[in-house]
Amino acid sequence: MLFAWGMLVGLTFLFLVPREAAGRLQMTYARVFHWPLALGNGMVRVQATTQVRNVNPREHEAVLQANQQLRTQSLNLQAQLQEAYGRIEKLTKLRAQPGLEQMQPIPARVIMPMQDELTINQGQDRGVAVGQYVLSFTDTLLDHQCVIGVVSDVSARGARVRLITDASSHIPVTVGSFTVPWVLDGRGEGGGRIANVPDTYTIRARDAVYAQPRQGFLDVPVVVGEVVRSRRDPDRPIVQEITVRPMCDIAALGEVVVLRPVSTP
């Protein structure tokens, strides 16, 4: 009779008690006796870590070599990660600029600086297209970034940037607090000029020159350069000719940012 009761209880546990309830019972046991159980597991770990295993010298050498390779790989990855962090930080600052929320900045390296032209390492694969504005990308604050040119030619993995100083560059700009659109023409030799500015506008040296917003390319005015001097046009005295220089040292740039509209696929 005792045996029958025992079997009944055992079979009830086996077939009728839900597994969740059985699990809770086992967990309760583990919780109530966690201290002696933890002590035992601790001793097992200590024993496991103090076990000495005889290793073949050749195997040991191979393990050491593999370890060295892993360490090298790890250090390289750390360096790459650090650089990526820095890049992300810069991009975060760039995205934080009011008016640039709808633009996706694409960082690119300058791989070939030429006279009034740059070749960068990002192309169609990353969404770079002709006509997009290119900004400087220095370690300084975002306020120091300026438009340096426009993408003029693009391939799958590279693009050419026509700088604002190039003779074939014509960028719509505004000067200082005036909202009148003018055109900044490149002149080569590291500068540009704005022609045909009526004499009625007072333009002073060090006035800022802004790239004018363009639908789909630039949502807010971004500084391009500053006025070096303003003088009357010798041929047409009723208008002024404004000489402009880039706001940043383009020749020293190692990285730039291409502004791509977010909606571009």
CA distances in angstroms from 19 to 10, 12, 151, 170, listed in the order given = 14, 12, 66, 77
The residue to which tokens 């190039």 are assigned: 166
Q: Which is nearer to another protein, 12 or 68 (CB)?
A: 12
Exposed / middle / buried, residue 166 (Cβ in 10 Å: 0-12, 13-18, 19+):
buried
CB of 72 to another protein, least distance (A): 34
Q: Which is nearer to another protein, 8 or 70 (CB)?
A: 8
Binding residues for another protein, per CB under 8 A?
A: 2-3, 6-7, 9-15, 17, 19-20, 22-23, 25-26, 29, 33, 36-41, 43-44, 47
CA atoms within 13 A on the CB side of 131: 8
CB of 20 to another protein, least distance (A): 7
Q: Which is nearer to another protein, 23 or 198 (CB)?
A: 23
CA gap 209, 193 in Å, rounded: 11
Q: Which is nearer to another protein, 44 or 88 (CB)?
A: 44
CB of 54 to another protein, least distance (A): 16
CB of 53 to another protein, least distance (A): 14
* CB contact at 8 A, 95 and 101: yes
The residue to which tokens 């540009």 are assigned: 192
Which tokens is 116 given? 């009034």
Q: Which is nearer to another protein, 15 or 262 (CB)?
A: 15
CB of 50 to another protein, least distance (A): 11
CA gap 177, 185 in Å, rounded: 20
CA gap 217, 134 in Å, rounded: 10
